[in-house]
């Protein structure tokens, strides 16, 4: 009974913003099909090309990554994730710096988003195939398989996962906002931009709601279908794989592609940062507003983490009682515009704590499922048998959580906290759309950018990254009990 209530509660948690908007607009939904079709075509074109480029890059360059020894491999796998974790505004500025003149429109959007997601696919896919590559390598070498044959063997086993990743990127592109907003140059708007325009330029909220619901239904059901046909067995980040000697099936070209990718991103960022630091106004950045934003970001992180863990424990309760949580997949990708807009109408409270809590609620509606999938889902699947065993031996739910499950999730909690930190520090979209008065470092950075104070934006981004790195070190210390290095097999 309790499990059913929690299941219902979770569904309400995620659909409440939409329900609130529908209620607020008295159920009025309007649709302009020609606009929707035009935006959908742009979304599909952008999504297709971004996922194709990212998958091709990720597939081939995985073999280069896996040909490296353990330490450089793990380091590269982590660095490659950075463009997808850091705010997309960075990538836009970097792209503008590298490519001049920059092609605005669909091409520009595809370039920037492919840049963001290629490293993401590379990191995940290389980890997923590591064990099989290692297992098949002796066979390939002994029987003289050429590169194409070896790749085919890997694709037969992992092709579905690759398609799954491609579809995730496709859907992420569909719901992208910042990049199309800035880089499309006013052309090539996608569905998310269309929603934004309906809401904030034309004030046609019912039209925005109509588009948003269509988008959500299409994406939600697609993800649900995807999740039925795929069991995400890719290893979570941080799990060790042994060194592979894969030079025969790798290539210098792949290596150059990876290095070009990383160097262009990090190199450009450092270049822009140095330019920013040399600006004569840079001392103006260090003011009360910045320090307030730092503390606000910290509190925002606390409330985000708290809400996340409450939902997570509810989820664990459902899993404990063998209830299906497949329904969560429907909420993997939500429209930031609409969900945050709910908060706009909700309004600000006089109590600061409540305002943080409201923001954190919206944050978790938008990001809980993807954070869960990214950092926790695989490990939880791996220890399903332990859960069954615990039930067989009458171990209580709380005992299972604190004595069995949580001690094995050190690595996963570490990565979760690092994601939560950077997302809390850099969050600005929800705050801007909802009209909240809370200012994070991301809000400050966005303000600098909106006034074309690029130097200020870069310095704030550097502070953001610095704080993030410090916080990751702190989590590491806390979770490892004051020692460096986690339990390797957790």
Partner 1 sequence: MKHFLGFVVAIFLSLTIFYLYRDDGTGHLSDSMTLKVYGSSSFIGSWGPGPILKDLFEKQTGIKVTYLEMADPALVIQKISLEGKQASGDVILSLDQYDISRLVDKIKWKSIDSKVELKISNQLAGISKLDKFKPYDWAPIAFITRVDNSVQIDSLDDLLKPELKGKIALEDPRTSSPGLNFLSWVFKVKSAIDAEKFLKDLIGQLHSVSPSWSAAYGLFKNKQVDLVLSYATSPIYHIVEEKDTSYKSLEFKEGHPSQVEFAAVPESCLNCEAGIKFVQFLQSPEAQKIIMEKNYMFPIERNVQEGTPFDSVKLFKLLPFQIDNKEAIQKWLSVWAELRKNDG
Partner 2 sequence: MSIPELNFKEHCVNVIVGPSGSGKTTLFNLMIGLLQAQNWFFYVGHENLAELPIEKRQLGVVFQNYELFPHLTAEENILLILKSRHNDSKESLAQIERYKKQLNLDKCWSTRAENLSGGEKQRVSLLRAVMSKPRLLLLDEPFSALDEANRAESREIVKRFVADLKMTTLLITHDHKDVEIFGDHVVHMSQGHIV
Give me the residues that bind partner 2 (CB under 8 A), please: 385-386, 388-396, 399, 403-404, 407-408, 487, 489-490
Rule CB under 8 A: choose which of 345, 386, 395, 486 binds partner 1: 345
Q: How far is the CB of 378 from partner 2 (least distance, A)?
A: 16
Rounded to the nearest angstrom, the gap between the alpha carbon of residue 203 and the centroid of all alpha carbons in its chain is 29
Tell me which stretch binds partner 1 (CB under 8 A): 113-121, 241-249, 362-370, 407-415: 407-415
Q: How far is the CB of 405 from partner 2 (least distance, A)?
A: 9
Alpha-carbon span 244 to 129, nearest angstrom: 12
Query: Shortest CA distance to 177 belongs to which of 418, 348, 485, 433?
Result: 433
Tell me if 460 sits within 8 A of 448, measured CB to CB: yes
In the complex with partner 2, the residue whose CB is nearer, 209 or 376, is: 376
Alpha-carbon span 313 to 311, nearest angstrom: 5
Rule CB under 8 A: choose which of 1, 26, 33, 201 binds partner 1: 201
327 binds partner 1 (CB under 8 A): no
347 binds partner 1 (CB under 8 A): yes
143 binds partner 1 (CB under 8 A): no
In the complex with partner 2, the residue whose CB is nearer, 295 or 394, is: 394
Alpha-carbon span 194 to 409, nearest angstrom: 41
Those residues whose C-beta lies under 8 Å from the C-beta of residue 479, and which sit 6 or more positions away, are 410, 413, 414, 486
DSSP 194-259: HHHHHHHTS--HHHHHHHHHHHHHHHHHHHHHHHHH----PPPTT--------GGG--HHHHHHHH
Q: How far is the CB of 389 from partner 2 (least distance, A)?
A: 5
Tell me if 61 sits within 8 A of 76, measured CB to CB: no
**Helices 106-142 and 147-174 sit at what angle, rounded to 10 degrees?**
150
In the complex with partner 1, the residue whose CB is nearer, 221 or 353, is: 353
Question: Please, what is the Cα angle at 450 between 449 and 451, to 5 degrees?
Answer: 90
Pair of tokens at residue 9: 């509660």
348 binds partner 1 (CB under 8 A): yes
Q: How far is the CB of 474 from partner 2 (least distance, A)?
A: 22
447 binds partner 1 (CB under 8 A): yes
Q: Which residues bind partner 1 (CB under 8 A)?
A: 34-35, 38, 42, 96-97, 100-102, 104-106, 181-182, 184-189, 197, 200-203, 280-281, 284-285, 287, 289-290, 299, 302-303, 305-306, 309, 344-345, 347-348, 350, 352-353, 402, 406-407, 410, 413, 432, 435, 437, 439, 443, 446-454, 456, 478-482
């Amino acid at each position: 009974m309790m499990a059913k209530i929690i299941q219902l509660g979770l569904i309400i948690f995620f659909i409440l913003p939409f329900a609130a908007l529908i209620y607020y607009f008295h159920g009025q939904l309007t649709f302009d099909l020609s606009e929707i079709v035009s935006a959908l075509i742009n979304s599909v074109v952008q999504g297709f090309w971004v996922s194709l480029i990212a998958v091709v890059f990720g597939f081939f360059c995985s073999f280069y990554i896996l040909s490296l020894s353990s330490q450089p491999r793990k380091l590269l796998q982590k660095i490659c994730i950075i463009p997808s974790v850091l705010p997309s505004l960075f990538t836009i500025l970097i792209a503008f710096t590298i490519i001049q003149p920059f092609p605005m429109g669909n091409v520009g959007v595809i370039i920037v988003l492919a840049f963001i997601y290629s490293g993401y696919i590379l990191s995940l896919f290389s980890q997923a195939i590591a064990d099989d590559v290692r297992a098949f390598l002796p066979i390939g070498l002994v029987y003289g398989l050429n590169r194409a044959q070896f790749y085919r063997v890997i694709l037969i086993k992992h092709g579905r996962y690759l398609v799954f990743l491609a579809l995730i990127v496709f859907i992420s592109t569909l719901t992208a906002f910042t990049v199309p907003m800035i880089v499309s140059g006013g052309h090539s708007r996608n569905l998310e931009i269309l929603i934004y325009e309906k809401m904030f330029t034309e004030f046609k909220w019912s039209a925005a709601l109509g588009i948003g619901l269509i988008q959500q239904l299409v994406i939600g059901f697609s993800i649900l279908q995807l999740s039925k046909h795929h069991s995400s067995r890719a290893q979570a980040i941080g799990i060790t794989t042994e060194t592979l000697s894969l030079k025969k099936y790798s290539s210098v070209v792949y290596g150059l592609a990876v290095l070009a990718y990383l160097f262009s991103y990090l190199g450009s960022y450092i270049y822009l940062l140095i330019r920013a630091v040399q600006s004569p106004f840079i001392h103006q950045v260090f003011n009360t507003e910045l320090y307030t934003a730092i503390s606000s970001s910290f509190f925002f992180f606390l409330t985000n983490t708290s809400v996340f863990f409450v939902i997570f424990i509810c989820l664990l309760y459902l899993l404990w009682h063998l209830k299906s949580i497949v329904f969560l997949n429907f909420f993997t990708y939500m429209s930031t515009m609409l969900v945050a807009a709910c908060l706009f109408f909700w309004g600000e409270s006089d109590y600061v704590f409540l305002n943080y809590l409201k923001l954190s609620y919206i944050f978790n509606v938008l990001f809980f499922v993807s954070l869960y999938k990214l950092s926790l889902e695989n490990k939880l699947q791996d220890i399903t048998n332990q859960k069954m065993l615990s039930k067989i031996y009458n171990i209580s739910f709380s005992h299972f959580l604190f004595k069995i499950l949580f001690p094995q999730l050190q690595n996963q909690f570490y990565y979760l906290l690092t994601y939560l930190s950077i997302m809390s520090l850099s969050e600005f979209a929800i705050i801007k759309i909802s009209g909240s008065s809370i200012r994070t470092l991301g809000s400050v950075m966005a303000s600098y950018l909106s006034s074309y104070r690029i130097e200020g934006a870069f310095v704030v981004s550097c502070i953001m990254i610095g704080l993030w790195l410090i916080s990751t070190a702190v989590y590491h210390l806390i979770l490892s009990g004051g020692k460096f290095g986690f339990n390797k097999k957790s």
